[in-house]
Amino acid sequence: MSKRALKTYLSKLPKKALEEQIVELYEKFPTVKTYYDFAFNPKEDKLVQDAKAKISNEYFPLKRRRPKARRSVAQKFFKHFIKLGVDPHLIVDVMCFNLEIAQTFSKEKNVPDSFFRSMLNSFNEVIQFATVHGLLPEFKERILKIYTETQNQKWLFEDEFSKALDIID
């Protein structure tokens, strides 16, 4: 069904039937429930704190012994926040937090080369996202600190991290 056909169908429905369909969607599909829960009560700060806690738990677990250090956990939060329409400022904050916690982790642990490649991807993403949403001036200092720390820790792909910063200049 096309968007146009859907609009035509919905415009012909009586208000009561439309309300019943929306309630049914809310009950059947978790994504619809999540959307409406956020739309009517956007507790963005709570979402951000939960995301930061789960990202931190990937690198410094509280219940298990070994860290998993998966970038995909943070990526899921970014995509989810974008879908919900969370304030881009908060999304960039979580993106930077992800890199900062990974840097703290890499100081203490021996990490594989793939870790540095995925963190490079995260670094590029945060710069691009901040640029697209006009938040680069606000986060420039924090991004530069992340870059400086990559240099201090002698992370692999130093040149690529440097190239990513060219956007800032």
- pLDDT score at 14: 94
Question: What are the structure tokens assigned to 128, written together?
Answer: 């691009």
Q: Classify residue 91 as left (phi > 0), alpha (psi -120 to 50) or beta.
A: alpha
60-77 confidence digits (pLDDT tens)? 998 888 899 999 999 999
Instruction: Give the pLDDT confidence of 38-51 residue by residue, as tens digits.
Output: 888 889 999 999 99
CB 74 within 8 A of CB 122: yes
Q: Where are the domains of the chain?
A: 1-41, 44-165
Tell whether pTM > 0.75.
yes
Distance linking the first and last C-alpha atoms of the chain: 46
